Chains A and B, each alone.
Chain A
């Protein structure tokens, strides 16, 4: 029973994150609608609880958003998983101090990696497998806006989280 509840809350939490993204994208005016709420949520989860369960959640959320993506299946999922695994390594080895500027850097690095891998996969898919389309240079403006706005978003979430939990506060050492 406990396991079933855990699975339901795991799947429900992932679906809720996707729904929150849909609501906020429609709610916010330009350019705030470029904020990647899914990435912010997953990154925050990764910082707050870098467990195996969180990594599985990344795969599940990636699969859910693939169901409604316009790009060929797999591009978003692989970009998301690869970028967040690399960010996880960065958080463990380089950006270990959970201060607000490190969280901002993590956001910038993570989103930039995500979009670089995404664009590379689109190019590979269009060039070798003739699926999808190579994005044009206008995507650069969109990506820069997304990276900056989402990084500010996760910093905001970080400050709010500090009010409710010690785990996000760098003054307390994380012994887990």
Chain B
């Protein structure tokens, strides 16, 4: 039987833990934490890339080279066309309604900061990613994060001086106001927590939502521009005993294959 640890040593461990937390919130540990991150972040980034590439090799196909090239080209093309199609539908709708009071410009005029993904969430089983930009580059909690020409992938939930954490749309705690690009302009809320799919809730039952309809952000929330592409409707659930209908969405991007993102920090946000 191993000797029990003296009480004083256990108390010293608890005090050390409490001291780390206390001095962190006082700000005294900032330089040490930044130094540790500066040292460890490149290693963690390499480890993340190594793990991801090893995982990809598990999905080896016999005609790997050709399959990878064709699959990548098709994915890029589809994402580009989906985003352009969503933007065109929005512009047509605004022109037809003659919105004189809006000074809506193209999305590309919103200031953004490009960021590289260092790692994905590893300890809390949340769908979050770590990026290599932080508050020193103007990032703040709540700012939207996009890829490509305007596909929303998540929002910032935590920023430090040199890094930030993005909660992806397929995280169980993610909620974003959205609208369907249909004739009714149905509004709802998109939430995650269903592994690879998203779910749009609170859609009025008397409005028509079809498989294949595109979903974009509604712009109702502060800091979230409208028109950012989220996904397309894969399944519609409209039960007579439910007050609202729901739609299961296929996201426009694969959240496991993100490498570069853009955080929207412009004045419109």
Which residues of A are interface residues toward B (Cβ below 8 A)? 15, 18-19, 21-30, 34, 36, 38, 50, 52, 55-56, 58-59, 62-65, 67-71, 73-74, 76-78, 81, 85, 88, 92, 96, 133, 135-136, 138-139, 142-143, 146, 174, 176
- In the bound assembly, the distance between CA atoms of A24 and B51 in angstroms comes to 6
Contact B119–A56 (Cβ < 8 Å): no
Known: A22-B122, A64-B40, A92-B1. A70 touches B157 (CB 8 A): yes
Complex interface: chain A residues within 8 A of B24 (CB): 73-74
Contact A68–B1 (Cβ < 8 Å): no
Complex interface: chain B residues within 8 A of A36 (CB): 123
Complex interface: chain A residues within 8 A of B50 (CB): 23, 26
- In the bound assembly, the distance between CA atoms of A18 and B124 in angstroms comes to 14
Which residues of B are interface residues toward A (Cβ below 8 A)? 1-5, 9-10, 13-14, 16-17, 20-21, 24-25, 33, 36-37, 40, 43-44, 47-48, 50-52, 54-55, 58, 119-126, 128, 130, 157-158, 163, 165, 167, 172-173, 193, 195
Complex interface: chain A residues within 8 A of B36 (CB): 64, 67
Complex interface: chain A residues within 8 A of B1 (CB): 92, 96, 174
Considering only CB atoms, which chain A residue lies closest to B13 in the complex?
Answer: A55
Q: Which of B2, B13, B43, B195 contacts A81 (CB 8 A)?
A: B13
A-B contact pairs, 20 of them (CB 8 A): A15-B40, A22-B44, A25-B120, A26-B120, A27-B58, A29-B55, A52-B9, A55-B10, A56-B13, A65-B122, A68-B119, A69-B124, A70-B124, A70-B157, A73-B21, A76-B123, A92-B4, A142-B125, A176-B2, A176-B3
Known: A23-B47, A56-B13, A70-B158. A136 touches B40 (CB 8 A): no
Contact A174–B13 (Cβ < 8 Å): no
Contact A26–B21 (Cβ < 8 Å): no
- In the bound assembly, the distance between CA atoms of A142 and B194 in angstroms comes to 11
- Minimum C-beta distance from B201 to chain A (A): 14
Complex interface: chain B residues within 8 A of A69 (CB): 123-124
Contact A22–B47 (Cβ < 8 Å): yes
Considering only CB atoms, which chain A residue lies closest to B39 in the complex?
Answer: A15
Complex interface: chain B residues within 8 A of A50 (CB): 2, 5
Query: Is the contact region of chain A dominated by helix, strand, or loop, or is it mixed?
Result: helix
- Top 5 closest pairs, chain A to chain B, by CB: A26-B51, A74-B21, A23-B51, A138-B172, A22-B47
Contact B120–A136 (Cβ < 8 Å): no
Contact A70–B13 (Cβ < 8 Å): no
- In the bound assembly, the distance between CA atoms of A24 and B123 in angstroms comes to 12
- A sample of 20 more A-B contacts (CB under 8 A), given A78-B21, A85-B13, is A18-B44, A23-B48, A24-B51, A26-B47, A26-B54, A26-B55, A27-B51, A52-B13, A55-B10, A56-B13, A65-B123, A70-B124, A77-B20, A77-B21, A81-B13, A81-B14, A136-B172, A139-B172, A142-B125, A176-B2
- Minimum C-beta distance from A64 to chain B (A): 7
Q: Which of B13, B58, B195 contacts A59 (CB 8 A)?
A: B13
Contact B173–A68 (Cβ < 8 Å): no
Contact B195–A15 (Cβ < 8 Å): no
Contact A136–B21 (Cβ < 8 Å): no
Contact A30–B17 (Cβ < 8 Å): no
Contact A59–B123 (Cβ < 8 Å): no
Complex interface: chain A residues within 8 A of B163 (CB): 68
